[in-house]
Amino acid sequence: MNSLKLIIISCSIILLLILLLLITHLLTKNFKSKINNDGKLKISFGIWYSAIFLSGANVISIVINTLSEVVDNLIKIRPVNLYLELIKITSLVIGVGFTWLILWFIVIKFLTKITHLKMDENEEMDDDNFSYFIIKGIMLFAIIFSLSSILSLILRLFIPNIETPFYH
């Protein structure tokens, strides 16, 4: 059964990285100018992209730890449809993890609009204002990192319980 755990975790890591790259691309695709006049990538875009990616990698590490416990518990329980239960709980944990990332991305977007009343992200990207994206990236990473224990607690709600009989 350790081979089942290894296969599930390996496939989950590959899926999580692909989903992270897709979500990072979708969250940054609204920027029109990602490249300088020299043909190089703008520093501000690189900072913002890497901040989203690092925040997502933090979420992925929590999701992988939870998936490891899910697989262990399901193997011990031995449900009738083991593979169906593995797929259901794995997809649920992955979905909640990425929903957590997108939720805090939206909160950071809202917070930066409140604190900088007249700043537009597209204008800041056009001007290559990397200090704005450093601040925004640090805010995103710090919030996700500091609230990672809460995400872990939320994800633990989806782990199946093992019934332990107590005999006297």
Q: What are the C-alpha distances in Å from 23 to residues 40, 50, 65? A: 23, 13, 21
Over 60: is that where the pLDDT of 156 sits? yes
Return the residue matching tokens 């009343």.
Answer: 117
How does the average pLDDT of the chain come out, rounded? 89
Over 80: is that where the pLDDT of 46 sits? yes
Contacts of 103 (CB under 8 A, 6+ apart): none
Q: What are the C-alpha distances in Å from 74 to residues 44, 68, 84? A: 45, 10, 11
Mean pLDDT along residues 62-71: 95
Q: What is the pLDDT of residues 11-44, one digit of tens each?
A: 999 999 999 999 999 998 888 777 777 878 888 9
Q: What is the pLDDT of residues 98-124, one digit of tens each?
A: 999 999 999 998 988 888 756 788 888
Over 90: is that where the pLDDT of 60 sits? yes
pLDDT score recorded for residue 138: 95
pLDDT score recorded for residue 160: 86
